[in-house]
Amino acid sequence: MKQKQILGVVLLVVVVALTVYALYPTSTEPVVSDETGVITYMDVSAAEAKDLIENNPALIVIDVSPYWAEGHLPRAVNYYPSSALQTAISSGELNPNNEYLVYCHADGPSRNGAQALIDAGFTTVYRLESHFGGWSVAGYEIEY
């Protein structure tokens, strides 16, 4: 009887895990709004961002923070203040066909930076949802 109870609990855990997985997709494809068909940036966790950096050598990591010199994600390029990012976009320094990961030490500037890329016609833009703090707390590599 006890084995049946254990099997029942294990089966329940598996069903719950599969349900959660189905409800919360882990795709890192850009999000397309169902209502408007407009492409938006994709929020990614620190673990997903790490995977993108490690497995996509063409990914361009953009730091829009004034604290870049105090530590930044691997391969990050700093575009602070926001006018620096706007200049890079309008001058053609940044190619709309490339993939980008935008982050900051706070949510507002990273949202603005990611949205600026989207507004300029960039189609594959990710944003580190937990910003630099989430990356740091996860214990991932920091460059100086």
* Residue 15, in any domain of the structure: no
* Residue 17, in any domain of the structure: no
* Residue 7, in any domain of the structure: no
Ranges 28-32, 112-116, 117-121: which has the least confidence:
28-32
Question: What is the structure's pLDDT at 39?
Answer: 77
Question: What is the structure's pLDDT at 134?
Answer: 96
Q: With 60 as the cut, is the pLDDT of residue 32 above it?
A: no
* Residue 72, in any domain of the structure: yes
Residue 5 — very low, low, confident or very high, per pLDDT cuts 50/70/90?
low
| Residue pointed to by tokens 């890079």 | 88
Residue 59, classified by CB atoms within 10 Å of its CB into exposed (0-12), middle (13-18) or buried (19+), is middle
Q: With 50 as the cut, is the pLDDT of residue 46 above it?
A: yes
Distance CA 13, CA 130 (A): 28
Distance CA 112, CA 80 (A): 12
Q: With 60 as the cut, is the pLDDT of residue 19 above it?
A: no
Of 89, 28, 97, 102, residue with least CA distance to 61? 102
* Residue 18, in any domain of the structure: no
* Residue 14, in any domain of the structure: no
Question: What is the structure's pLDDT at 16?
Answer: 35
Q: What is the pLDDT of residues 49-107, one digit of tens each?
A: 999 999 999 999 999 999 999 999 999 999 999 999 999 999 999 999 999 999 999 99
Count: domains in the chain: 1
* Residue 12, in any domain of the structure: no
* CATH at residue 38: 3.40.250.10
Q: Give pTM, 2 decimals.
A: 0.76
**Amino acid at residue number 95:** N
Host domain of residue 49: 28-137
Task: Using a pLDDT cut of 70, give the percent of the chain over it.
Answer: 76
* Residue 126, in any domain of the structure: yes
